[in-house]
Amino acid sequence: MTRPMTRGADDDAFDRFCRAMLDRPYVPPSIRVDARGGRRARVELGDFAGHVPYLPGDDLRFLDWKALARSGEKHLRTYEEQRHRRLALIVDRSASMLVRQRALSWLLRLWTWLALHRLDSLEVVSLQGDELRRELFQGPDAWPRIAEDLRELELGGTRGLDALHAADWGLRSDTSAVVVSDFADAAVTARFLEQARLRGLRLLLVFPRLAHEARLGYPMAGRVAFFDPESGETCEVGLGGDLHAAFLEEQRAWERRLGAAAAEYGHALLVADLPTTLDEALRVETWLPMLERERRVG
């Protein structure tokens, strides 16, 4: 028998689970595509990312001898693992995300915990009300500063990606960022993706999918009410097996369109199935599609 999602003790149980995940070789996801195109060589340390000028004291193991022979100038080869030790996390905190609030809190807490312990830093960009929030966190000691905000994840307003589209995100042009949203409006999403490309950003779009969006067999039957927190409207329908199957077919088609739009602008899409119970949330297997294996440098 599975336990429903509640607060308090369940939060403590999930925090203990996050600590236990440090015994496993996982990190939050990152983008692995090159928005500018071009060929990259696969090497022992990871994907070749480009050159930087040599400075006295730099590690000569990374000196590009062929480039030196061609130009007479010293340049170091750089790799993706070296450049992407910071997790830049862009979170859509509009009211349309409210239906995902509890499990989304778990997902963000797990990513944050692993980033603070495994990566150099974590940068969180989000819109809360009309205020764009940019916060930088470094090291495990930063956990108390962000933990309570993630446990009581505040979502509201109608200006999610649309507001971020027009704002100064403050991210470097070579930043690899993870964007968490329901990407509800196709036109808004397209503007957001195009603007990111113009800024030189490479995005991993994460659509945190709910159970009824993911599979048949979810216990939804009879009269079901769908509430839109942004408009305040409720739509009530009779949901049987045939209607749910049609819903899933349309859902998959929407996900394919989102993936194609991401690829068109040089980004990537990850569809992540969120847990519906605490039992699911406390299983490592639940989160593996949303994590990467840690790659060590050197």
CA distances from 103 to 11, 76, 88, 257, 272 (A): 11, 43, 20, 25, 11
pLDDT in the model for residue 163: 75
**CA dist., res. 118 & res. 105, Å (int):** 20
DSSP-derived 3-state class of residue 45: coil
pLDDT in the model for residue 291: 95
Enter the tokens of residue 89: 């996390």
pLDDT in the model for residue 294: 81
Report the range of poorest mean pLDDT among 89-93, 216-220, 250-254.
Answer: 216-220
Enter the tokens of residue 255: 């996900």
**pLDDT of 84 higher than 70:** no
> Is residue 108 a contact partner of residue 102, using CB atoms and an 8 Å limit?
no
Q: What is the pLDDT of residues 232-288, one digit of tens each?
A: 677 766 666 677 778 788 889 999 999 999 999 989 999 999 998 999 999 999 999
pLDDT in the model for residue 5: 46
Give the bridge partners for 223, in sequence order: 238
Mean per-residue pLDDT over the chain, rounded? 80
Beta strands in 46-116 (DSSP E): 46-53, 75-79, 86-91
CA distances from 47 to 33, 157, 216, 297 (A): 10, 40, 39, 12
The band of 20, judged by pLDDT with boundaries at 50, 70 and 90, is very high
Q: What is the pLDDT of residues 130-174, one digit of tens each?
A: 678 889 999 999 999 999 999 988 888 777 787 776 666 777 666
**How many residues does this entry show for the chain?**
298
